[in-house]
Structure 1
Amino acid sequence: MTPPDASDTPRPDRWNNLDRPPLNEPALRRALVREGGLWTSLDVVAATGSTNSDLAGRGDSAPEGAVLVAEEQTHGRGRLDRTWSAPARSGLFFSVLLKPGEGVPGERWGWLPLLTGVAVAAALSREAGVDTALKWPNDLLVTVDGEERKAGGILAERVGDGVVIGVGLNVSLRADELPVPAAGSLALAGAVSTDRDTLLRAVLRSIEQWYGEWRDAGGDPAACRLQEAYAAGCATLGRTVRAELPGGHVLTGEAVAVDGDGRLVIGTAEGVQQPVGAGDIVHLRAGRDQ
C-alpha cells in the first residue's frame, strides 16, 4: 500500500463531519442538470469569497442556468454591502445566472429577487416543514421562540445580458453560532430536515418552475400569479414600517401592497400612498424594531 504523500491536498470526506457532511456534487448534477432544463451546470467549491462575484466574473460567456455553490463563503455580500458569514457547511450559499432575454421587458427584471424569495420559501415549506415568510424586498424570515428571525437573504446583480442571483440560507446554525441575536436558522425554527442536498434540490427545482412560468408570461407578475404569491407570503404587508431611503430620507407608514413593478407601497399618515423601489425596511411592532 502506497503511503499518502504529505503534500497531497486534503479532500472533502463525507465521514469527517457527520453533523455537517459536504454536499454530494455528482448526485446534485445528476438530479438537476438535464437536457431541456434550466440548469446547465452545477459546481460546488469548498470555499470562496462570494459566489455572486465569482459567477459574475465569468461574464457573458457563462450560459444561462449556471449554478455555483460554496460550502463556505468568506466574504458573502448582502444588500447595502452588508456581510454574510457562517461556519462551513452550515448553510446553503449559492448563485445562479438567469438570462430572461428579449421576451421579458427589462423593467420587469426587478421581479427576479422577489421570484427567488417565493420559490425558496415554497421549497422550504415543503421540504423542511418550516413556515418561511418574506420581508420586502429580499429577506427570508423564520420563527424562533415566537420571534421572527432572519434566516436568509437574496442578492440580485445585473451582469451583462443577465442577472446573477445569490442566496444565503442558514440551515444548521446553532444559537451560539448566530452572527447577531436577530438571526435564525432552519434548525432553530424546528425544521424536520436539514439535509442540504435535499433542500438545495428542492430550492433549485422551485426556482426553475417559478422562473419558467414568469418568463412564459413575458415577466407579467399578475399573469403568472407571482405578485399574488409574493403578497401572500410577505410578512411586511399590513405592518407599520420605517423605510430608510437612499439619500438619507425616511418614510414611516403602513405597508399596504406590492405593486406591479415589485415596489412596496407605503400608506402615510397624510393619506398618501408612496411606492418604494429601494431602501432598507424596518418592521415596527409594539415599540420594537426589526
Structure 2
Amino acid sequence: MTPPDAADDSRWSDLDRPPLNAAALRRGLVHEGSLWREIRVVRSTGSTNSDLAALAQSGEAAEGTVLVAEEQTAGRGRLDRRWTAPARSGLYFSVLLTPGDVPVARWGWLPLLTGVAVATGLSRSAGVDTALKWPNDLLVTVGGEERKAGGILAERAAGDAVVVGVGVNVTLRQDELPVPQAGSLALAGAVSTDRDPLLRAMLRSLEDWYGRWRAADGDPAASGLQETYAAGCATLGRTVRAELPGDRSVIGEAVAVDGDGRLVLATADGVQEPVGAGDIVHLRPA
C-alpha cells in the first residue's frame, strides 16, 4: 500500500474529488454496539479484498474491519475481471465478516445481501434509482439506458471469515468510463456525490441487513432478504442468457431467485433450471 505522504501527481489534484475524512467516518460508524470496529482509509492499493484477506489471515483484522482505498489499481470483479477508475472517483472498500453461527450453505447470500444494502443506502443518500443485476452488479439509468455503476465480490478468507468487496463509480465522467456500458452516480443524476455520507449510508445499511440475516440464522425468507432482493432485481422477468462454466449457455426467462440465492430460468422446453454461477446477459427489457 502506498504511504499517505507519497509524492503527489495530477491524479490527486482534481478539486471536485476531495479525499475521504477518515476521522469523521470513524466517529460516525465506530461506537459501542456497532458492527464496525475499525475504518482504515489508504491512499492507493491493488485490491482492498486481497489486503483485507491478508490482514485476516495474519490475525491483524477482526470482524467489522473496513478497508477503503482512495484509488484501487488492481481491483477484481467476478470471473477475475479488472476494476480500475481515476483516483477518488468512486468508493472502493472491503469489509470483514465472520458469520460463523450461520450455516455455511447460506453464506452464498452474502453478496446478494450486500447488493441490497448498497442499493438501499445509495437510494437514500444519493437519490438515485438503483437496481440489481443477478448476482451482484449495481445498475443505474443514464439517458434512459441501463448501465453498470458498481459490483460486489465476496471471497472466503481465513477460517470462518468472509471478505466482501464493493466498488461503486461515483463521479466518473462520460470520457472516463472504462467501457460504454458503464455508468456512475453522477451520470445518473445523483443529488449528492459526497463520498463520505454515501459510504456511511452503505455501511449502516449493510450493518442492518447483516444483523437481520444473522438473527434469522441466515434464512433469506425469514430475514426478508429474499423478498427484498427479488423486488430490486432487474434480472427477474427478463429473457436472459446464462453463460455457464464449461462453455455452456442457457437461454430462458428469469422467474425467481430461490432459497439458495440461485437464479431460476424457465427455458423454452418447459424446464426450470437454477443457475448458481455464471455470467448473465440481459436479452430484452423487463
Kindly indicate whether residue 284 of structure 2 is the aligned counterpart of residue 282 of structure 1: no
Q: If you compute each CA radius of gyration, which structure gives the higher value, 1 or 2?
A: 1
* Correspondent of 2:47 among 47, 50, 55: 50
Alignment of 1:7-156 (within 5 A): 9-10=6-7, 17-60=14-57, 61=59, 62-101=61-100, 103-156=101-154
Alignment of 1:187-198 (within 5 A): 187-198=186-197
Give CA-to-partner distance per residue, 1:93-132, whole Å, 9 cap, x none: 000000011x210000000000000000001111111011
Give CA-to-partner distance per residue, 1:128-163, whole Å, 9 cap, x none: 110110000010000000000000000000112111
SS in 2 for 1:46: strand
Alignment of 1:188-227 (within 5 A): 188-227=187-226
SS in 2 for 1:142: strand
CA distance in 1, matches of 2:32, 2:105: 30
**Residue type of the partner of 2:17?**
R
Deviation at 1:262, TM superposition (A): 0.2
Deviation at 1:34, TM superposition (A): 1.1
**Residue type of the partner of 2:234?**
A
The alignment covers a number of residue pairs equal to: 276
Q: Which residue in the other structure is 2:182 paired with?
A: 183
SS in 2 for 1:275: strand
CA distance in 2, matches of 1:222, 1:259: 10
SS in 2 for 1:223: coil
Whether the 8 Å CA contact 2:239–2:252 is kept in 1: the answer is yes
> Normalising to structure 2: TM-score of the pair?
0.94
Tell me which stretches of 4 or more aligned residues in structure 1 moved more than 4 Å: 8-12
CA distance in 1, matches of 2:92, 2:6: 23
**Residue type of the partner of 1:119?**
A
CA distance in 2, matches of 1:129, 1:25: 24
Q: Which residue in the other structure is 2:258 paired with?
A: 259
Q: Which residue in the other structure is 1:5 paired with?
A: none
CA distance in 1, matches of 2:8, 2:89: 18
Deviation at 1:10, TM superposition (A): 4.8
> Normalising to structure 1: TM-score of the pair?
0.93
Whether the 8 Å CA contact 2:171–2:185 is kept in 1: the answer is yes
**Alpha carbon RMSD of aligned pairs, Å?**
1.4
Give CA-to-partner distance per residue, 1:211-244, whole Å, 9 cap, x none: 0000000000000100000000000000000000
**Residue type of the partner of 1:36?**
G
**Residue type of the partner of 2:97?**
L
Whether the 8 Å CA contact 2:56–2:161 is kept in 1: the answer is no
**Residue type of the partner of 1:20?**
R
Structure 2 portions without partners, runs of 5+ = none
Give CA-to-partner distance per residue, 1:3-31, whole Å, 9 cap, x none: xxxxx74589xx95420000000000111
**Residue type of the partner of 1:149?**
R
**Residue type of the partner of 2:243?**
E
Deviation at 1:175, TM superposition (A): 0.2
SS in 1 for 2:150: strand
CA distance in 2, matches of 1:159, 1:254: 35
**Residue type of the partner of 2:231?**
A
Deviation at 1:59, TM superposition (A): 2.8
Q: Which residue in the other structure is 1:4 paired with?
A: none
Q: Which residue in the other structure is 1:250 paired with?
A: 249
Deviation at 1:36, TM superposition (A): 1.5
**Residue type of the partner of 2:267?**
T
